[in-house]
């Protein structure tokens, strides 16, 4: 299986942010890269307080970006009540192998009033998440 598609990268509140699209869930994930000097560097997602993106933090690990490995905190949009983005999936994954398309109908995590998390939605979540992280980092520097 090929890597997840990076849909967008941008800077917010002094952090690099990434929006990815998963060919497994057909949903987006958001990541904020953490500098080595940050109090948040190396912290597991379940140890981080005060950072509250959609569904909570669900990821903390190194990721490859820009030719190097970076620590990242992240969240996903594949919770109960989140619906796969079929329209974007068809555009972004048009050359996906047959097993990706075969798996799609079997995914049943969305609810009766599900929400598709668009690229703009995830960018907004990342902007708020990076602001929360910057406040934590700033408070640590002052304290």
- Tens of pLDDT along 66-109? 899 999 999 999 888 888 887 888 787 777 666 665 655 455 55
What is the value of pTM for the model shown? Answer: 0.86
Q: Work out the pLDDT band at 29, boundaries 50, 70, 90.
A: very high
Q: C-alpha distances in angstroms, 66 versus 18, 25, 34, 69, 70?
A: 11, 24, 14, 8, 9
- State how far the Cα of 63 lies from the Cα of 71, in Å rounded to an integer: 6
3 state DSSP class of 131: helix
For the chain, the helix, strand and coil percentages under 3-state DSSP, each to the nearest 5: 30, 30, 40
Q: Work out the pLDDT band at 14, boundaries 50, 70, 90.
A: very high
Q: What mean pLDDT comes out for the span 40-64?
A: 96
Higher local confidence (pLDDT), 30 or 111 = 30
């Amino acid at each position: 299986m090929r890597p997840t598609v990076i849909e967008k990268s941008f800077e917010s509140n002094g952090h690099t942010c990434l929006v990815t699209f998963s060919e497994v869930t057909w949903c987006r994930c958001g990541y904020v890269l953490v500098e080595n000097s940050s109090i948040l560097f190396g912290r597991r997602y379940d140890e981080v307080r005060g950072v509250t993106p959609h569904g909570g933090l669900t990821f903390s690990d190194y990721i490859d970006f820009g030719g190097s490995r970076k620590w990242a905190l992240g969240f996903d949009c594949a919770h109960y009540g989140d619906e796969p983005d079929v329209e974007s999936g068809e555009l972004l994954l048009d050359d996906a192998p047959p097993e990706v398309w075969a798996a799609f109908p079997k995914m049943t995590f969305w609810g009766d009033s599900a929400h598709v998390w668009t690229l703009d939605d995830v960018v907004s979540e990342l902007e708020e998440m990076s602001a929360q992280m910057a406040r934590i980092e700033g408070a640590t520097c002052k304290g």
